[in-house]
């Protein structure tokens, strides 16, 4: 498996202790990229041993985020809500938290912001939105990221996956689309992580928003070709 890349810089991973975030950290380390993780408690960072820098903080707290992004070249967000109300709700995490993180990243000179969103984010009437408007919250964050990181010398990549599954990366041929036209489908979290990580150095990934699901089992060398299929 290829493990070379031209990318230089430290990457902050938000949502690092989540199922996708753990894969983002693994894939960054596969390519030898220095990682800083944002974690809600120092105890949770134990899973990484001493292989990463650790920033403890909540996405509710701008000062925590300023410290977390300081000196980072890029941010990858795999944040996600898990409760109807409170600290891990869609409004707090998927919208306000992601927006706050993007604001601090932009203010502190981060050059690239990559994030996980979801298929169907533009469809307010989708049943998933019954979970406290989670899709609409993600869409609001997407819009903010696009407006902040499409400026000069900045870039963004927004990955909208179908349903997430566990399993190793690069085991499936993928189907990518734009315009939020996919209604269902699955993808491994590890492939979402790989797409986010490859967005750090691929010019074809810059300033792209796209949907992605599995197409068929077929080992992949890299996921670069899928970025080549996207238009702006
Ligand atoms: N499940 C699906 O089928 C599906 C489909 C499409 C898109 N998505 C989206 O894909 C993303 C990744 O999914 P996943 O299953 O990997 O998520 P996950 O395992 O639930 O991870 C969510 C991460 O967000 C962190 N977090 C939550 N509230 C926080 C706060 N207030 N401050 C700082 N960090 C906070 C969690 O920290 P802790 O570890 O401390 O809880 C965790 O690291 C999510 O946005 C999800 O909505 C999911």
79 Cα–ligand 1 center, Å: 4
**Best of 12, 13, 16, 18 for a ligand 1 pocket test (most atoms within 8 Å of beta carbon):** 18
Dihedral of the alpha carbons of 208, 57, 100, 147, in degrees to the nearest 10: -20
Q: Is 126 in the pocket of ligand 1 (CB under 6 A)?
A: no
Residue 3: the pLDDT is 85
Asked whether residue 232 carries a pLDDT value surpassing 80, the answer given is no
**Residue with CA closest to ligand 1 atom 47:** 80
**At residue 56, what are phi and psi to the nearest 5 degrees?**
-90, 130
| pLDDT, tens digit, 9 for 90 and up, residues 145-201 | 999 999 999 999 999 999 999 999 999 999 999 999 999 999 999 999 999 999 999
Distance separating alpha carbons of residues 122 and 160, to the nearest angstrom:
11
Any idea which fold 11-228 has?
Rossmann fold (3.40.50)
| pLDDT, tens digit, 9 for 90 and up, residues 21-60 | 999 999 999 999 999 999 999 999 999 999 999 999 999 9
| pLDDT, tens digit, 9 for 90 and up, residues 89-137 | 999 999 999 999 999 999 999 999 999 999 999 999 999 999 999 999 9
Q: What is the full DSSP assignment across 119-173?
A: TTTT-TTSGGGGTTTHHHHHHHHHHHHHHHHTSTT-EEEEEEESEEE-S-TT-EE
Residue 2: the pLDDT is 79
Asked whether residue 1 carries a pLDDT value surpassing 80, the answer given is no
What are the tokens at 216? 């068929």
Distance separating alpha carbons of residues 123 and 212, to the nearest angstrom:
16
Q: In angstroms, what is the C-alpha Rg of the chain?
A: 16
What are the angstrom distances between the C-alpha of 117 and each of 1, 27, 33, 36, 101?
27, 19, 23, 21, 14
**Residue with CA closest to ligand 1 atom 39:** 17
Q: Is 100 in the pocket of ligand 1 (CB under 6 A)?
A: no
15 Cα–ligand 1 center, Å: 6
- What is the pLDDT confidence band of residue 140, given thresholds at 50, 70 and 90? very high
Q: Is 87 in the pocket of ligand 1 (CB under 6 A)?
A: yes
**Residue with CA closest to ligand 1 atom 5:** 163
194 Cα–ligand 1 center, Å: 17
């Amino acid at each position: 498996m290829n493990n070379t890349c031209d990318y230089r810089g430290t990457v902050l991973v938000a949502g690092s202790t989540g199922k996708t975030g753990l894969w983002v950290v693994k894939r960054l380390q596969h390519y030898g990229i220095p990682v800083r993780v944002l974690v809600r408690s120092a105890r949770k960072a134990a899973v990484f041993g001493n292989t990463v820098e650790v920033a403890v903080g909540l996405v509710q707290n701008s000062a925590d985020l300023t410290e977390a992004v300081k000196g980072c070249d890029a941010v990858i967000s795999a944040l996600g809500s898990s409760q109807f109300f409170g600290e891990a709700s869609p409004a707090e995490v998927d919208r306000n938290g992601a927006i706050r993180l993007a604001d601090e990243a932009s203010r502190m000179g981060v050059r690239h912001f990559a994030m996980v969103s979801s298929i169907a984010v533009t469809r307010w009437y989708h049943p998933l939105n019954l979970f406290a408007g989670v899709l609409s919250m993600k869409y609001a964050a997407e819009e903010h990221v696009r407006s902040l990181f499409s400026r000069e010398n900045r870039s963004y990549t927004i990955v909208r996956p179908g349903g997430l599954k566990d399993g190793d990366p690069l085991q499936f041929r993928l189907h990518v689309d734009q315009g939020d036209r996919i209604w269902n489908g699955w993808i491994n979290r590890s492939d979402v992580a790989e797409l986010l990580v490859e967005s750090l150095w691929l010019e074809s990934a810059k300033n792209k928003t796209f949907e992605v699901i599995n197409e068929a089992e077929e080992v992949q060398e890299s996921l670069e070709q899928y970025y080549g299929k996207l238009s702006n």
